[in-house]
Amino acid sequence: MNTNKPSLYDRLGGEDMISALIPAFYVRVLADPELGPFFIHTELEKLHAMQREFFVMATGGPIQYSGRPLAHTHHGRGITRHHFSSFTNHLIETLLDMGVTQEEADEVIERINAMTNEIIGASY
């Protein structure tokens, strides 16, 4: 097994890719009539900064997420599996539009899906 395989972060294109991904992704999310309302009272600059940290961390990059725990941030917001699925579908579409391979997009989603229960408030 090759242990020198670059991190997903590096394979995606590193900081430049993540910095371009977040605003492009949120254009789709905010335009979604089911997801947009979740962000009405959200400071988008702060959201983008926290998501950038989160995506860098989740893909094996050099930054640690400094935001509040996901379960705390999303608690009581009424986020369902359907909402989470729509959110991840927008992410896949954005990644593919940015030239990421299907395999790498799937790997990103696999890492994001590991946090599903924290985001939708499901018990383990």
- Residue range 28-86, pLDDT digits in tens: 999 999 999 999 999 999 999 999 999 999 999 998 888 888 888 888 888 999 999 99
Residue 122 predicted with pLDDT over 80 = no
Tokens of 59: 């893909």
Q: Determine contact, residues 98/24, Cβ cutoff 8 Å.
A: yes
Q: Determine contact, residues 80/35, Cβ cutoff 8 Å.
A: no
Per-residue pLDDT, 67: 83
Read off the pLDDT band of 123 (50, 70, 90).
low
Residue 17 predicted with pLDDT over 80 = yes
| Mean confidence (pLDDT) of the chain | 91
DSSP secondary structure letter of residue 37: G
* Average pLDDT over every residue of 99-113: 95
The CA–CA distances, whole Å, from 37 to 23, 26, 114 equal: 17, 13, 24
Per-residue pLDDT, 70: 84
Domain residue limits, the chain? 10-120
Per-residue pLDDT, 82: 94
* Average pLDDT over every residue of 87-100: 97
Looking at domain 10-120, does it have CATH number 3.40.50.11740? no
> 35-53: b or e for each residue (b if 16 or more CB lie within 10 Å)?
beebeeeeeeeebeebbbb
